[in-house]
Amino acid sequence: MEKIFTRTPTLTSSETHFCPGCTHGIAHRILAEAIDELGIADRTIGIPGVGCCVFLYYYIAIDTLEAPHGRAPACATGMKRAQPDKIIFNYQGDGDMAAIGTSEIIHAANRGENITVIFINNSVYGMTGGQMAPTTLLGQQTTTSPYGRNFQTEGYPIKMAEMLATLEGVAYSARVSLHKPKNVMQAKKAIIKAFEMQINQMGFSMVEILSTCNTNWRVSPIEALDVIENEMIPYFPLGVFKERTGKDFL
């Protein structure tokens, strides 16, 4: 019998530091598969932000730059301008991109920087222990919203994919999820699409991925998948919010 599924070559054999059931592992795998399927591993440079995403370099065997918290889009801007023939992507969490790094992401997107951003939205700060993030759902209890997020005092969860889609420089903005097999396949297609946008010099591309953080959500891995289905998706709808078909920004 023939092996029909195994680890893609650009995904290293390292065991991840992610908690059991954390879908970050799935995100890493489909990202590495996308890179290999497009045949761009030799010329791709990854820029992870700070948080659970920072150890990207242990798991994906490409050149990697560690960016200061929230600043990955600015680092990517510099790198892409210096090496326009390379494929540059950011891998940022919600505490990184949707809070401390909002200025950098909005302006990189608005300039139409020809980079790709993978945005992991798990509605909490994961690595620091589950504090409230801008993406935390209303009513969601975290270590810093112990009574549940209240819109009157903490505002509403921020919708990055929709917000960035309003900017002219953005070529592609989509939200996908990792909670079901069908969604994982769609997520990988979206990542490939985003990289293709960059390869074709269409401008800024972003894929927001709804991901689980069952440890900080205080649920089991399987229950966390249901949280995505029943609580996250109703507020963070899946879909493509912008897809440029021509280089009409040029």
Partner 1 sequence: MAYIKIDADRCKGCYFCIKFCPKQLIIVSDTHNKVGYFPAQFLQEKEDQCTGCKTCALMCPDTAIEVFK
Partner 2 sequence: MTEKKLTKGNIALAEGAIQAGCRFYFGYPITPQNDIPEYLAKNLPRVGGTFIPAESEIASINMVLGVGASGERAMTSSSGPGISLMQEGLSYMAGSEIPGLVVNIMRCGPGLGGISPTQGDYTQAVHGGGHGDYRNIVLAPASVQEMFDLTIRGFELADKYRMVSVILADAMVGQFQEPCRLTPDHPVTMPEKPWALKGRAGRKPQLLKSLYLGPGEQEAHNQDLQKKYREVERNEIMCEESLLNDADLMIVAFGTPSRIAKTAIRMAREKGMKVGLLRPITLYPFPSQQLHEHSERIRKILVVEMNTGQMLYDVKISAHKDADISFYGRPGGGVPFPNEVLDEIVKAMEK
Distance between CA 114 and CA 87 in Å, rounded? Answer: 9
User: Distance between CA atoms of 198 and 201, rounded to whole angstroms?
Assistant: 5
Question: Which CB sits closer to partner 2, 62 or 238?
Answer: 62
Our CB check for partner 2 shows the closer of 105 and 227 to be: 105
Nearer to partner 2, 36 or 154 (CB): 36
Beta carbon nearer to partner 2, 110 or 131: 110
Q: Which of 170, 208, 203 is nearest to 92 (CA)?
A: 208
* Binding status of residue 57 toward partner 2 by CB under 8 A: yes
Least CB distance to partner 2 at residue 133 (A)? 20
* Chain residues in the site for partner 1 (CB under 8 A): 1-7, 11, 15-16, 18-26, 29, 180-181, 184-185, 221-222, 225
Is residue 41 a contact residue for partner 2 (CB under 8 A)? yes
Q: Please report whether residue 37 would count as binding partner 2 according to CB under 8 A.
A: no
Task: Choose the binding region for partner 2 from 67-75, 118-126, 211-219, 242-250 (rule: CB under 8 A).
Answer: 67-75
38 CB-contact burial (10 Å; exposed 0-12 / middle 13-18 / buried 19+): middle
| Residue-wise DSSP of 68-87 | PTT-HHHHHHHHHHH-TTSE
- Site membership for partner 2, residue 74 (CB under 8 A): yes
Query: In this structure, are strands 131-132 and 44-48 parallel, antiparallel, or unpaired?
Result: unpaired
Q: Hey, what are 240's tokens?
A: 């493509």
Tokens representing 127 are 């690595």
